[in-house]
């Protein structure tokens, strides 16, 4: 999730200053590198956040128009060479981009045969060269951009400029937000409204497959086919801070609501549904080695650890490979039995978690093949593992991890399919998993649409001082994750428990003031879960259930029910965790806490 910002004016303002101010308000969208271009002064790039770029801009850097970018890396490490904007061979066409161009390798190969030379390792650069190629026969910048975009497959929020038409900026959207700002004698393009609102409240939101051509006094919107679109401007009442959060009260809620997009980005280009295969480019270099491995040790901390526990069930049941899951903070203090036929798989949102990094290093010392599931391109874990899978979830600002977990579980499902097909999983089973993965975004959205009911439920239980979460099999780790979310942002006692362990101690805690949240979707252990719920009900404990849509009989057991769509059992945790995240969010908000910044906690734990 990169930050894009473009500006063109006839009012005598210095576009460079406007663009830099805008980048500062977009910093939550990326901080790997930053760059700026104006037709008058050229381009400057810097590794790091916008402040690093500001320090490099010399006095006199000027423009009547320009584009600027904050990068969250997806292809290519965070370097000045890979920072945006990217240019064509002539230095006349410049592009900034948020998203992933899936067919960039094929486009790059074609362009190289036509004589184009590339300077970066990014997917974005191909677009600048495509526009350059079309400008050879189509002299109109807008038409050349439309032709180029029709060759691109993937997701994008784009802004581009051409020195031959310097007051014009082209913007385009496909799966990645783009908004136009309409001012007096000036126009803006941005990845969200936050950098625009200090200049104008009049905006137009592009829809997928639309391209905007703006000048200081006009804007025209086209479909990719070239037909024009008419759309009235909207007046926004949000302030700039609220705009960064997409109008939501907190980043945590915004990130929960991004769940459908996160799953789409994680699986995009990675499923061959007709063949029942997962294509993971990050594992191609070690594909043969993976087929020889005897077992997997998954290491992670906090939410990533619970993702790993869920992955253990996926991998053992469907890929047929033994899996152990270890707390990364304990792994290197043991004497783990690791050899050259062991995979040590690290899961980390930031890719910088020190305990997880040290666990990987310990695995390497003992001869293991090391893999990573990480969200940050170029992070230390991404660099030090032998191979891996990127989440493509975008930056996660809220300290309590939400969308990263949804992405991690989706990536583990892809890995399960990848390894399973190596080890005898049938094409039929692979297709079943692929179809279910593709259905997840719509199913998550259906859960998100019930958030008002979950909010009422949280309000009902807000005075509880203790909470128990129970689950079995795939939902055993999700029970622990649900409890973790509640305690880390609301500061009350909450604990997870395998439902089968209730009679071995935890049942002693249950009374009329001790609520239990039972994850009881219709799966292979549903009858067992129903029995555990009966044990709680017999002791007059308040019961909330997460249940599959259509299960009315559960209302006889539970005081309150959150319904979720049904999917295949291995993917059900991805759906079940969403109402748990929403419940924790609304619970903490009812108590008046800073949901995004819980006390005593940091987003990335880089010390022991």
The predicted pLDDT at position 246 comes to 77
8 A C-beta contact, residue 389 and residue 373: yes
The predicted pLDDT at position 603 comes to 64
pLDDT tens digits, one per residue of 265-280: 999 999 999 999 999 9
pLDDT tens digits, one per residue of 14-71: 999 999 998 887 876 666 889 999 999 999 999 887 888 889 999 889 999 999 998 8
The predicted pLDDT at position 49 comes to 79
- Closest by CA position to 159, among listed 23, 21, 333, 325: 23
pLDDT tens digits, one per residue of 170-179: 999 987 888 9
Residues taking part in catalysis: 2, 603
In percent, how much of the chain has pLDDT > 70?
96
8 A C-beta contact, residue 478 and residue 602: no
pLDDT tens digits, one per residue of 127-169: 999 999 999 998 899 999 999 999 999 888 999 999 999 999 9
8 A C-beta contact, residue 349 and residue 402: no
The predicted pLDDT at position 175 comes to 78
The answer to whether residue 607 scores a pLDDT higher than 50 is no
The predicted pLDDT at position 488 comes to 95
d(CA 541, CA 512): 5
d(CA 539, CA 527): 19
The answer to whether residue 503 scores a pLDDT higher than 70 is yes
Region 344-360: what's the mean pLDDT?
91
d(CA 174, CA 485): 33
pLDDT tens digits, one per residue of 366-382: 999 999 999 877 678 98
The predicted pLDDT at position 1 comes to 63
In percent, how much of the chain has pLDDT > 90?
72
Strand-pair partners of 96: 159
The answer to whether residue 75 scores a pLDDT higher than 70 is no
Region 190-205: what's the mean pLDDT?
88
The predicted pLDDT at position 242 comes to 66
Q: Count Cβ neighbours within 10 Å for each residue of 310-330 and write b for 16 or more, e otherwise.
A: bbbbbbeebbebebbbbbbbe
Alpha-carbon distance values, 171 to 13, 97, 159, 231, 521 (Å): 21, 10, 4, 15, 44
How far out from the chain centre does Cα 34 lie?
20
pLDDT tens digits, one per residue of 234-269: 887 766 666 678 788 999 999 999 999 999 999 999
The predicted pLDDT at position 602 comes to 64
8 A C-beta contact, residue 37 and residue 85: yes
Alpha-carbon distance values, 561 to 30, 157, 450 (Å): 38, 39, 12
8 A C-beta contact, residue 28 and residue 244: yes
Residues contacting residue 81 through CB under 8 Å, at least 6 positions apart: 119, 120, 121
d(CA 178, CA 601): 33
d(CA 318, CA 357): 28
Q: What's the pLDDT band for 608 if we cut at 50, 70, 90? A: low
Region 218-232: what's the mean pLDDT?
94
The answer to whether residue 409 scores a pLDDT higher than 60 is yes
The answer to whether residue 184 scores a pLDDT higher than 90 is yes
Higher pLDDT, 322 or 509: 322
Helical axes 427-448 vs 259-267, angle rounded to 10°? 160
Domains of the chain and CATH, by start: 3-247 (3.60.20.10), 253-447 (3.40.50.10490), 450-590 (3.40.50.10490)
Cα end-to-end distance, the chain, whole Å = 29
The per-residue DSSP string of 440-489 comes to HHHHHHHHHTTHHHHHHHHHHHTT-SEEEEEE-GGGHHHHHHHHHHHHHH
**Count of CB atoms situated within 10 Å of the CB of 500:** 16
Q: What's the pLDDT band for 350 if we cut at 50, 70, 90? A: confident
d(CA 196, CA 546): 41
Q: What's the pLDDT band for 301 if we cut at 50, 70, 90? A: very high
The predicted pLDDT at position 605 comes to 62
Q: What is the largest CA-CA distance in the chain?
A: 79
Helical axes 451-461 vs 572-590, angle rounded to 10°? 50
Q: What's the pLDDT band for 79 if we cut at 50, 70, 90? A: confident
pLDDT tens digits, one per residue of 585-606: 999 999 999 998 888 876 656 4
The predicted pLDDT at position 296 comes to 97
């Amino acid at each position: 999730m990169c930050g894009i910002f473009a500006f063109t004016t006839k009012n005598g303002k210095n576009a460079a200053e406007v663009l830099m101010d805008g980048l500062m308000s977009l910093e939550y969208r990326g901080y790997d590198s930053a760059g700026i271009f104006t037709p008058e002064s050229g381009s400057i790039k810097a590794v790091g956040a916008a402040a690093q770029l500001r320090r490099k801009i010399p006095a006199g850097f000027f423009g009547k128009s320009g584009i600027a970018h904050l990068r969250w890396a997806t292809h290519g490490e965070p370097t000045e060479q890979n920072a945006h904007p990217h240019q064509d061979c002539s230095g006349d066409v410049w592009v900034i981009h948020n998203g992933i161009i899936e067919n960039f390798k094929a486009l790059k190969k074609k362009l190289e045969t036509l004589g184009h030379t590339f300077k970066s390792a990014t997917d974005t650069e191909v677009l600048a060269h495509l526009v350059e190629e079309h400008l050879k026969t189509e002299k109109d910048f807008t038409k050349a951009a439309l032709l180029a975009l029709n060759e691109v497959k993937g997701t994008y929020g784009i802004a581009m400029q051409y020195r031959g038409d310097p007051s014009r900026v082209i913007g385009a959207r496909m799966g990645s937000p783009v908004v136009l700002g309409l001012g007096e004698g000036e126009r803006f393009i941005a990845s969200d409204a936050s950098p625009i609102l200090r200049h104008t409240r009049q905006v137009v939101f592009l829809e997928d497959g639309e391209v905007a051509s703006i000048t200081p006094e006009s804007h025209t919107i086209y479909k990719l086919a070239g037909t024009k679109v008419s759309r009235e401007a909207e007046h926004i009442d949000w302030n700039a801070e609220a705009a960064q959060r997409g109008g939501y009260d907190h980043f945590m809620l915004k990130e929960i609501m991004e769940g459908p997009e996160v799953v789409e980005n994680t699986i995009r280009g990675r499923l061959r549904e007709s063949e029942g295969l997962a294509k993971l480019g990050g594992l191609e270099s070690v594909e043969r080695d993976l087929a020889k491995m005897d077992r997997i040790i998954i290491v992670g901390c906090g939410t990533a650890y619970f993702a790993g526990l869920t992955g253990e069930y996926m991998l053992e049941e469907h890929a047929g490979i033994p899996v152990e899951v270890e707390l990364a903070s304990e792994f290197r203090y043991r004497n783990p039995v690791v050899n050259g036929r062991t995979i040590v798989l690290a899961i980390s949102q930031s890719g910088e978690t020190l305990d997880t990094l040290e666990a990987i290093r310990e695995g390497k010392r003992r001869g293991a093949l090391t893999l990573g599931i990480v969200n940050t391109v170029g992070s230390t874990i991404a660099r030090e593992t032998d191979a891996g899978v990127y989440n493509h979830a975008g930056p996660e600002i809220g300290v309590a991890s939400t969308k990263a977990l949804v992405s991690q579980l989706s990536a583990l499902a892809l890995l399960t399919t990848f390894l399973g097909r190596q080890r005898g999983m049938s094409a039929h089973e692979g297709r079943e998993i692929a179809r279910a993965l593709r259905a997840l975004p719509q199913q998550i959205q259906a859960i998100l649409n019930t958030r008002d009911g979950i909010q009422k439920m949280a309000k009902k239980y807000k005075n509880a001082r203790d909470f128990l979460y129970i689950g079995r099999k795939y939902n055993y780790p999700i029970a622990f994750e649900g409890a973790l979310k509640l305690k880390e942002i609301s500061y009350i006692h909450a604990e997870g428990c395998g439902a089968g362990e209730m009679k071995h101690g935890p049942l002693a805690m249950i009374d009329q003031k001790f609520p239990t949240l039972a994850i009881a979707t219709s799966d292979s252990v549903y009858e067992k879960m129903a029995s555990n719920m009966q044990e709680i009900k017999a002791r007059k404990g308040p019961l909330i259930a997460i249940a599959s849509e259509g299960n009315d009989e559960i209302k006889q057991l539970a005081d309150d029910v959150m319904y979720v769509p049904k999917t295949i059992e291995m993917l059900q945790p991805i759906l079940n965790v969403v109402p748990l995240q929403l419940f924790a969010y609304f619970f903490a908000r009812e108590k008046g806490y800073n949901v995004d910044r819980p006390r005593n906690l940091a987003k990335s734990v880089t010390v022991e």
